[in-house]
Every structure is written in structure tokens, then in C-alpha cells.
A and B are shown apart, each in its own frame.
Chain A
């Protein structure tokens, strides 16, 4: 009996049972099983355990648990929607936030305004302010694409209508090429009132933004925000409601 094959088979038996091994590995395992009683017995044992587990039924839901679940959901919703000064802005679609507006504005004037920054913790806020100002200064350049500080839903529709016919069309597999580094970097800071989901996304992605543009991604109107850190790039995809829909690496 080949000791190496034995160890390998021991490790892979459970995955083999589920058909989750490659063809080559399956051949190695099956050849070894022919010769090894211990592995055959272990396979049976794993099968028994898996069958015992899969034979178990889910217990019935406790009485009235659906009523209690709905009450809990309503209570959480009521709490979430309790009048608070920040609630209104927290509920706005993502791209109406100042930082996103700034990024969108910058994307529009990317070729005109070159912003070079050296990202460091101490200047992040300053950078964000800079980008805000940059966007405001850039505003007159893009009268036809009204990304203002407080855009209305209508303005977004206007942008979409204007650009719908001319959006860059991207599929998932286009992304690596699309992410070719752009030399200019812009650092944006997360607003304090960002929703947890956005915060999480930004904690996951480095704050160094390469690119921000509305595109047709896999056939859907989306916003693509590309960020990178130490050469590792990420693209965040926001859906047409401004909700984070995907993170691509």
C-alpha cells in the first residue's frame, strides 16, 4: 500500500463521497480504495454519518413563531424609521451623497482636472473636502449632466436618459481589462452618515478611487467604482438604486 496515497485518500474521502474531487484525484482515490481496507471502512463510516445527518428532520416551528417574527420585524422597522435628523439623508440613494457626487463629478472631468494625492490617514478628510470642492468647481462644465449637491430623483433620471443610449457596456469578464490602472488617484472619505452596508463595502475596499462611472453591467444600468491598494484592485458595483450590488476583485 502506498503511504502517500493513503494519506491523500484519508484527507479526500469526505469530498470524494460528495463527488467534489477532480477526475485525476478520483482515479488516485479509487485505485487506493481497491487496495486499502482501512480507507474503505472509513468511507463507509463517513457515508453512515452523512446519511444519519441528512436523515434528520427539521423540527416544527414553535407555535405562533411566525406572528412573533413579524412583530419583531415591525418593531425593528419602527425603530429604524424613528424620527432622527440623519434618517432622511441616510435613506437617500447612494449617489446623492456628497462623496459620491464628488466622485461622479470627478469622473466626468477626469481628463481635465488631474488630482494627485498621496493617501495617508492624516489627509483623508482633507482629500475628501478637496474632492468636494473639485466637483463643485467642475459643475459648470457639465451643465447637461446635473450632478449637484442635492440632486432630485428627476436629475438622476435625466442623467440616465441622456446616457442610456451611450453607456459603456461591461460584462464580468471585461472587468480585469477595464481595471487597467489609471495613474491619477483620488482619495475619498466615507461620510459619517453612511449606511452600514456602504461602510462595510468601503472597509472592504481601499479608499483609493480610480474610476467611477455609470455603465451597463451585465445588461443592467449600474455604477462602477474602481479602487485599488498596493496594486490590488476592486470594483464596486452599485445598482440603479444606488445600492451596492456586487464587489468584483
Chain B
């Protein structure tokens, strides 16, 4: 009946018919992706796992209004980013614990080059994680979905429940902030002023 290769829609249907294992299959299928977004959005592995759980529990209810004509992954992105943005708003006044960033940055950035390469990669990874943590959540969500998750603009608009125009400007603003941080850290030489 159901197996690992069942389509998302089949699993949803089975879950709505009362089969919890179908939902669990779906959750395990998307766990890594959801966790990845949560991590990029929140900058902490512990918190990312926490919000990943929240996301799937929220999905257990909201999947009932899932729009079959958009893809389930877009729907998941939507619920995930909303959860992350909620979490960010809730802890707005709490400063990011810098001790969380260091080791995460190491894991976060692939470092299969030589020792020097990996040092630079680690620094860039840390810097990006740190900068992502500093830019407003809405910009962060847009660049995470675009540049890390590789979503199309139209899917991002759907995930963030906003217009294409807003998506464009958020990605642009987000990238500029990242670029600015990279430049200030001297990782990119100063370029073309007027």
C-alpha cells in the first residue's frame, strides 16, 4: 500500500484517511530540508531541531487545507518559514549567542579543500551565518529560499505569501547586506565605486 516511494499527495491522502505512519514517512522525507531552512534562519542547531518539530506538528493540522495544485514542498517551505519568522519575532530582544555560531559554522560550510581553503571556507561560512542572523527575518527567508534552497521566485512568493515584486526586492536587499558584510570582512576586495 504505502512505501517510501509513495508520492507526497498519496501519503497526504493516506494520512487524512487516518494513517499516521503515512505522515511520519512524509516527515522523515522532508526533515532534513526543513531542518536546513530552520538552521539557516535561526543559526542554532538546537533551535532548528525544535522548530522543525513545531513545523511538522503544525503541518499535521494545516495539511488539511493543502492546495493540491501547488507542490507539497512549497507548502512545507511556507509553514517552515512562518514558524521561523514567528520564532525570530518572539526572541527579537534576545541577542544571538555567539558561541552557537562558531562550531555550527564549521559544520555548515563544506571544507573539502586543503587546510587553508577550509579555514577560508569556515570563515566565510561563519560570516554568512553571522550576517544572516543580523539581517531582518524577511530578507533572510528570501535569500535562504533562493540561494540556499534554490527555489524559483514564484515558489518563494508563494512560500512567503507575498508578491513577486516584494520577493525581488527582498532577495536584492538580502544579497546586498551579505555582500556588504563579505566586503567589510575583506573577503572581497573593494570594487567599482563611482
Contact = CB atoms under 8 A, between A and B. Distances in A.
A245 interface: yes
B36 interface: yes
Given A54-B147, A56-B128, A65-B31, A45 B67 contact: no
B178 A53 contact: yes
Contact of B49 (A11, A15, A65, A76): A65
B64 interface: yes
Nearest to B168: A15
B186 interface: no
Task: Identify whether the interface residues of B are mostly helix, strand, loop, or mixed.
Answer: helix
Interface string A22-56: 00000000000000011011101110111011111
A14 B175 contact: yes
A56 B109 contact: yes
A53 B143 contact: yes
A88 B125 CA distance: 51
Given A56-B148, A244-B65, A245-B68, A11 B109 contact: no
Number of chain A interface residues as a range: 35 or more
Nearest to B46: A62
A246 interface: yes
Interface in A47-90: 48-50, 52-62, 65-66, 68-70, 72-74, 76-77, 80
Interface string A187-226: 0000000011110110000000000000000100000000
A62 B128 contact: no
Interface of B: 13, 16-17, 20, 23-24, 27-28, 31-33, 35-36, 39-40, 45-46, 49, 52-53, 56-57, 60-62, 64-69, 104, 107-110, 124-125, 128, 143-144, 146-148, 150, 153, 168-169, 171-172, 175-176, 178-179, 182-183, 188, 191-194
Given A57-B109, A73-B23, A243-B64, 8 more contacts: A46-B176, A48-B188, A52-B124, A55-B124, A59-B45, A62-B49, A70-B24, A244-B65
